[in-house]
Amino acid sequence: MNFLIEFFGAGLAEYNEWDIQWAPDNSEAIIAILGVSVPLALWFFWTSLSRIPSRLKKVLLFSLRVSTFLLLGLLLLKPQLELKKSHSQKNSIAVLLDGSKSMSIKTFPTEEKRIDLVRETLQANKDYFAGLKKDFSVDTFFISDHIEPASDVDRHYQARMPNTDYSKVFADLKKHYEKKPLAGVFLFTDGADLTQSSGDPSSSLVEILAGFKSPVHTFQAGTNESFKDLSIQSLDVPDFGFVHQPIHLTVSLYASSMGNKNIPLVLKEGKNILISKMVEIRKDQASYKVDLQFTPRDLGKRVYSLSVPLFAGESIASNNRRHFQVKVIRDRTRILHLNGRPSWDSRYLREVLVSNPKVDLLSFFILRTLSDDVAAPTSELSLIPFPSNLLFNDYLNSFDLVIFQNFRFESFIDKNLLSNIKSYVQGGGAFLMIGGELSFQGGGYDRTPIEDILPVTMQRGRKIFSSEEFRPVVEKNLQHHPILRLEKKDAFNQKTWQSLPLLNGLNLGLTAKPESHVLVGYKKKGSLVPVLAVAKMGKGRTAVLATDSSWNWNFRRVGEGGSGRYYEKFWNNVIGWMTNAPETRLLRLESDKERYKDGEEVLVRFNVLKEDYTPASGEKVNLTLIKVSGESEKHVLESDQNGDGVFQFLPDQEGFYAVQIELNRKGDRISDKISFGVFGETAEFDRPLVNASLLKNIAGITGGQYVILDGPKDLSDYRFENPEVMVQTKRKTFSLWDNWWSYGLLVGFLMIDWWARRKSGLS
């Protein structure tokens, strides 16, 4: 064999074993065929040699033929020489240490943490493990929902992993020891596997465990004895809700060894308490379901926290509090539309508002005034009293936009209530006055709180309304304003505005306030008379449309061969801007996620637009990061050529953060603010009880033992089988048939056979 090894050029020292491999899968069939056909062929051949008198020649020819057949058979069986190097290997012992968060739970009466019970046992058996290492390879792993090789256990063993899943752990372990002999497993854990519904292991876990030929000894860290805990076990709350509409949530509470007491369940937004509800805890009842309802008042991503009190001696403190986020959106834009008299202008606007599925419209038409003689008793009229007190005292804040269209307030709204509208706008509401003879000075609004909030001032004593036709002109510098965007492309948009029918009916004597923007005007003697002007007032927005003929852009345009599309678009733009739709804001701030995990980096993006709604490049904005502790951090950032910018930071603790961005532009302060929460995973504390039954089952299935760790345990009685295992580390194969000399030999035999037969006078 050494000769062969030398012959094939393999270094002798590298291998300590050899073998011959017969390659074909059906080698037995080949041998059987050869076993029958070769003797038959040889018999025929021997009889064909009867004419040769020389016995020596006969034997020579027959030997040649036999050799040829043997070589052919060898080629068909495709033999290979396999050289191997093997050595004996130690059996392995796996020590699995549960590093999930539930291991930090205290056990009673010692009040020791579960993880500390494991640490004590490991410490007490240091010599045992050292002794084990002489005969076995002892591998230690931290486990949670995967295995992680552990080094320096004393330093690195922590209860910090967010989840426990034994199925994944044992699947990983099986894979790890696929090529290594595993003699046994020590599993130190509390059995609190969230994926196992009860004490019986799931079928997938049973299947994996059944594949283990070595015992798994389970060591239960802690017990459920005197386990004291009050927890918010689960929370059923929608991801989004509507502003001013109640949101319902169902809370599941769990109480163990809490006795009889009444506890408050408190819902907060930031530091503000939204609801507090008393829950009656009874010692003979563990689970409680509580229904809560709250009404969000502000739009955006809102972070709420729900908490129950933390009592002395509770095993887990962190599950007494839960955070959740709800995206608060407008279900529909609520609009109050007051019309001083029925007109085509009010009718077509109402049609647009009613047909917009995002609008919830409440409209009132003043169908008669006190001077009108209806010639019928009230019971024969469909008219209802105008509920001015309800609208302007009680429910004003429930509207996103209030429209006065050609409406004179006297006789319908007490003058004192006008100041409510002013407060409503300054607090974030929107107010639009549409023209007509009963608007502005004609409606008696000059020198009232309404004049204070409108983008225009009113002059008396002049002609206040003109019925003449006029062409409105779009202010070029503000053509990117979202209200004016009837078409996306600038040139087309401009052309569209120019193509709209003329208007007739203009409120005069109005002068734009310095802080307002005149988007559309009427050129008269070189100056621009405001037709459409907008302004921000406090936190709200106001606008005036000083004409009662915008319906011309609908019906008259239809008569000119167009459609009412642009009229509809214009009004939807007005509603969008007035109600502060996101796409109409000059400064926008957003975070990349709604909720961050502990240790995750936060990315905040902002976008700045100029007053004319073009991107503000190179604009400096002040960003304030308000941390959990209340301390704030200020940064000055600059927007890029698209008006965009980013801010990243790594939160240093769990809790609520807020980012505020602002810029001062010509005395106008523009700002936006977002808030978000950074929270660690708490799933481990949802079902924190020790699962003894599961651990018993795991040990039972694998032939291991189940032990409760209530203090340092002596493991010296644990012995493992240690059979010798040879492991092949190197292997090389050489073909004994697929080479030049085997084919050469075959051809050589056949040629000699042919030559000898010719010499002997055979054909």
Contact status: 20 vs another protein (CB under 8 A) = no
CB 661 within 8 A of CB 622: yes
Give min distance, CB of 428 to another protein, in A: 24
Q: Which of 283, 368, 593, 673 is in the footprint of another protein by CB under 8 A?
A: 368
Give the C-alpha separation, 367 to 636, whole Å: 56
Task: Please work out the total of residues on this chain that contact another protein, with binding judged by CB under 8 A.
Answer: 40
Give the C-alpha separation, 623 to 648, whole Å: 11
Contact status: 535 vs another protein (CB under 8 A) = no
Q: Which residues contact 136 (CB under 8 A, 6 or more apart)?
A: 90, 91, 92, 93, 183, 720, 722
Give min distance, CB of 559 to another protein, in A: 3
Give the C-alpha separation, 458 to 533, whole Å: 13
Partners of 510 in the β-ladder: 458
With contacts defined by CB under 8 A, name the span among 195-203, 265-273, 548-556, 719-727 that binds another protein.
548-556
CB atoms within 10 A of CB 462: 9
Instruction: Tell me whether residue 346 or residue 675 sits nearer to another protein (CB atom).
Output: 346
Pairing between β-strand 272-281 and β-strand 287-294 as defined by DSSP bridges: unpaired
Q: Which of 4, 383, 683, 747 is in the footprint of another protein by CB under 8 A?
A: 383
Instruction: Tell me whether residue 215 or residue 442 sits nearer to another protein (CB atom).
Output: 442
Give min distance, CB of 362 to another protein, in A: 6
With contacts defined by CB under 8 A, name the span among 311-319, 360-368, 457-465, 749-757 that binds another protein.
360-368
Radius of gyration of the chain from Cα atoms? Answer: 45
Q: What are phi and psi of 514, to 5 degrees?
A: -60, -35
Give the C-alpha separation, 752 to 744, whole Å: 12
Pairing between β-strand 321-329 and β-strand 333-339 as defined by DSSP bridges: unpaired
> If you count them, how many residues does the chain have?
763
Read off the DSSP letter of residue 684. G
Instruction: Tell me whether residue 41 or residue 383 sits nearer to another protein (CB atom).
Output: 383
Q: Which of 25, 239, 373, 717 is in the footprint of another protein by CB under 8 A?
A: 373
Pairing between β-strand 300-307 and β-strand 359-365 as defined by DSSP bridges: unpaired
The distance from CA 718 to its chain's CA centroid, rounded to whole angstroms, is: 46
Q: Which of 127, 154, 284, 380 is in the footprint of another protein by CB under 8 A?
A: 380
Alpha-helix runs per DSSP H in 187-261: 203-210
| CA proximity to 176, closest of 203, 217, 146 | 146
Tell me the per-residue interface mask from 266 to 295 with another protein, x by CB under 8 A, - otherwise.
------------------------------
Instruction: Tell me whether residue 215 or residue 435 sits nearer to another protein (CB atom).
Output: 435
Q: Does an H or E element contain 517, and which?
A: strand 517-524
Q: Which of 203, 379, 527, 763 is in the footprint of another protein by CB under 8 A?
A: 379
With contacts defined by CB under 8 A, name the span among 81-89, 103-111, 356-364, 621-629 that binds another protein.
356-364
Contact status: 96 vs another protein (CB under 8 A) = no
Tell me the per-residue interface mask from 411 to 440 with another protein, x by CB under 8 A, - otherwise.
--------------------------x---
Give min distance, CB of 390 to another protein, in A: 10
Partners of 98 in the β-ladder: 143
| CA proximity to 279, closest of 251, 311, 303 | 251
Q: Which residues contact 493 (CB under 8 A, 6 or more apart)?
A: 479, 484, 485, 486, 487
CB atoms within 10 A of CB 604: 21
Site residues for another protein, 724-763, by CB under 8 A, read none
Instruction: Tell me whether residue 275 or residue 367 sits nearer to another protein (CB atom).
Output: 367
Q: Which of 213, 248, 282, 347 is in the footprint of another protein by CB under 8 A?
A: 347
- Spell out where 282-319 has E strands: 287-294, 300-307
Give min distance, CB of 492 to another protein, in A: 23
Contact status: 547 vs another protein (CB under 8 A) = no
CB atoms within 10 A of CB 282: 12
Residue pointed to by tokens 């000083």: 546
Instruction: Tell me whether residue 203 or residue 382 sits nearer to another protein (CB atom).
Output: 382
Contact status: 395 vs another protein (CB under 8 A) = no
Contact status: 348 vs another protein (CB under 8 A) = yes
With contacts defined by CB under 8 A, name the span among 241-249, 251-259, 555-563, 654-662 that binds another protein.
555-563
Contact status: 375 vs another protein (CB under 8 A) = yes
Instruction: Tell me whether residue 436 or residue 651 sits nearer to another protein (CB atom).
Output: 436
CB 517 within 8 A of CB 532: no
Instruction: Tell me whether residue 379 or residue 641 sits nearer to another protein (CB atom).
Output: 379
Contact status: 341 vs another protein (CB under 8 A) = yes
CB atoms within 10 A of CB 488: 7
CA distances, 731 to each of 3, 4, 21, 109, 554 (Å): 18, 16, 13, 59, 88
With contacts defined by CB under 8 A, name the span among 354-362, 472-480, 662-670, 713-721 that binds another protein.
354-362
Contact status: 357 vs another protein (CB under 8 A) = no
Instruction: Tell me whether residue 311 or residue 364 sits nearer to another protein (CB atom).
Output: 364
Give the C-alpha separation, 126 to 110, whole Å: 23
With contacts defined by CB under 8 A, name the span among 16-24, 557-565, 635-643, 658-666 that binds another protein.
557-565
Contact status: 369 vs another protein (CB under 8 A) = yes
Contact status: 363 vs another protein (CB under 8 A) = yes
Contact status: 365 vs another protein (CB under 8 A) = yes
Instruction: Tell me whether residue 237 or residue 391 sits nearer to another protein (CB atom).
Output: 391
Q: Which of 73, 482, 538, 564 is in the footprint of another protein by CB under 8 A?
A: 564
With contacts defined by CB under 8 A, name the span among 186-194, 347-355, 695-703, 718-726 that binds another protein.
347-355
Give min distance, CB of 463 to another protein, in A: 18
Contact status: 554 vs another protein (CB under 8 A) = yes
Partners of 645 in the β-ladder: 606
Contact status: 331 vs another protein (CB under 8 A) = no
Give the C-alpha separation, 755 to 763, whole Å: 10
- Angle at 136 (CA atoms; ends 134, 138), nearest 5 degrees: 105
Contact status: 558 vs another protein (CB under 8 A) = yes
Instruction: Tell me whether residue 47 or residue 379 sits nearer to another protein (CB atom).
Output: 379
| CA proximity to 164, closest of 111, 117, 114, 126 | 114
Residue pointed to by tokens 């508002």: 353
With contacts defined by CB under 8 A, name the span among 106-114, 474-482, 549-557, 741-749 that binds another protein.
549-557
Site residues, another protein (CB under 8 A): 340-344, 346-348, 350-351, 354, 361-369, 372-376, 379-384, 437, 554-556, 558-560, 563-564
